[in-house]
Amino acid sequence: MSSSASCLSRVFCLLAVTVVSVSLSSHTWEEEGVVYGRIGETVTLKCNSRNDSSVAEWRFNGSPDVSWGYFTNVGDLDLPSVGHSVMGNYTCHGHSGELLRSLLLKVGYLPGMPSVTCRASDYHNFSCYWKPAVDTLLPTRYITSYRVDRNSPEICLQDPTHPNMCSVRHSKLWTSYQMNITEENPLGSNFRILEFNVQSIVKPDPPEIMSAEPIPYAPRRLLVTWAYPSTWPQEPHFQLKFRLQYRSVLHMSWSVVETANLSDVITDAFVGTEHILQVSARDFLDAGNWSEWSVEARATPWISKEPSVSVSEVSNKTTTEEPEPQVKEPFVQNDSVEKVIILISLGIFGFVVLVLFLIFGALIWVRVGRTVKDSGIKANFLSAIHMKTLPKSQIL
């Protein structure tokens, strides 16, 4: 029952789309003196003179040699299995050589079913893009329309500056859309219908204003920042999450991390090596798809700038009897701080374990002492009882 209803709904949709297509097709393909033919089929050229018997010959681009055509008894010219080579100007002439009619023959293919994709860069508007399945070699136009639920079809606006694209403004969330893209040429038409909800085609534009910079005294870290795409609505209930990919210029594999923030710190960068970084965005609730990657940003982690020592200075220092003690600069790199923190943590952990061990040992010692004390009292008590039960002679 449900399948029958679905089929019936599709039929109504096709009928409605056909009506819209016909109403939008105000332009016809009929051009004076132009004939269109389908490659591989027979094309008949008509002279349309008042007296068919007055037609004496057909010429192709001025030449009377039309060996691939057949002159009919009513003055027409049949061209079987036409191909690219037969395109050109055909003229029919009377017995005295006068021109009766001139025709321009163009050949091509029927339109195929176009390939259509739709994308919403935000939750308020979306656009559909299409590509022809066949290069028809003929003039082509597209009729674009859509339906919201089961309402009447509406026009999807085409922008002349962006060919093969139409846009829908003020779209509705959680609503079913049926998009129809019809391709037409002088030989016929073909169409594709695409059904979707807006949230399923959401694909944000790439994040913008991306930058990366080194962190002082941290030779393996980079600070990366970016901004929301300008086309995404700045509304609290429409949030984005991000993924950051990065690699050094010496490697081909990418490392990827996800975050909900507009910045991140890379902690495993390669020391002294330039890195390539990009970021993409997606709806925070995983609706739709990830955006394309942003424009690349490049940065190199912080490099220590210690003063260099010349060879002459080194030789002078080695020849002195008492070399001056070298005063080392305090090592403030971030990796050393992390190592110190780890050592302190291990020391605290060891101290806690030692204290617990001592407490446990003390408890065992107290328990054993009590047990021994209790067992000694019981032994003396039993001996006294035994001595009382013996005869007086044995006790003495």
CA distance 177 to 202: 14
Q: What is the CATH number of the domain that holds 272?
A: 2.60.40.10
Same domain, 285 and 248: yes
CA distances from 395 to 63, 241, 292, 388, 391 (A): 158, 96, 106, 9, 6
Same domain, 271 and 240: yes
267 within domain boundaries? yes
Domain termination residue (choose one: 299, 325, 352): 299
Same domain, 221 and 284: yes
194 within domain boundaries? yes
At residue 84, what is the residue type? H
Domain termination residue (choose one: 57, 87, 108): 108
Q: Which of 136, 116, 260 is nearest to 188 (CA)?
A: 136
Q: How many CB atoms lie within 10 A of CB 284?
A: 13
Q: Check residue 319 and give its pLDDT.
A: 47
Structure tokens at 380: 């003396």
Q: Check residue 335 and give its pLDDT.
A: 56
141 within domain boundaries? yes
Domain termination residue (choose one: 51, 80, 108): 108
Same domain, 262 and 196: no
Same domain, 279 and 218: yes
Same domain, 196 and 214: no
What are residue 115's DSSP bridge partners? 131
226 within domain boundaries? yes
CA distance 111 to 99: 35
354 within domain boundaries? no
Q: Check residue 78 and give its pLDDT.
A: 93
Same domain, 104 and 115: no
CA distance 374 to 368: 10
Same domain, 122 and 73: no
8 within domain boundaries? no
Give the residue numbers spanning the domain of 69: 40-108
Look at the chain and report how many structural domains it folds into.
Answer: 3
Same domain, 180 and 215: no
CA distance 85 to 65: 14
93 within domain boundaries? yes
Chain centre to alpha carbon of residue 330? 48
Same domain, 116 and 195: yes
134 within domain boundaries? yes
Q: What is the pLDDT of residues 343-378, one digit of tens each?
A: 888 888 888 888 888 998 888 888 777 765 665 544
pTM (2 decimals)?
A: 0.63
Same domain, 155 and 127: yes
- From first to last of its 396 residues, the chain has per-residue pLDDT tens of 444 444 444 444 444 444 444 444 445 677 888 999 999 999 999 887 555 567 788 999 998 888 899 888 788 899 999 999 999 999 998 888 889 889 999 999 999 999 999 999 998 899 999 999 999 999 999 999 999 987 889 999 998 888 899 999 998 888 899 999 999 999 999 999 999 999 999 999 999 999 999 999 999 999 999 999 999 988 888 899 999 999 999 999 999 999 999 999 999 999 999 999 999 999 999 999 999 999 999 999 999 876 554 445 545 544 444 444 443 343 344 556 667 788 888 888 888 888 888 998 888 888 777 765 665 544 454 444 444 444 545 444
Same domain, 184 and 228: no
Q: Check residue 8 and give its pLDDT.
A: 42
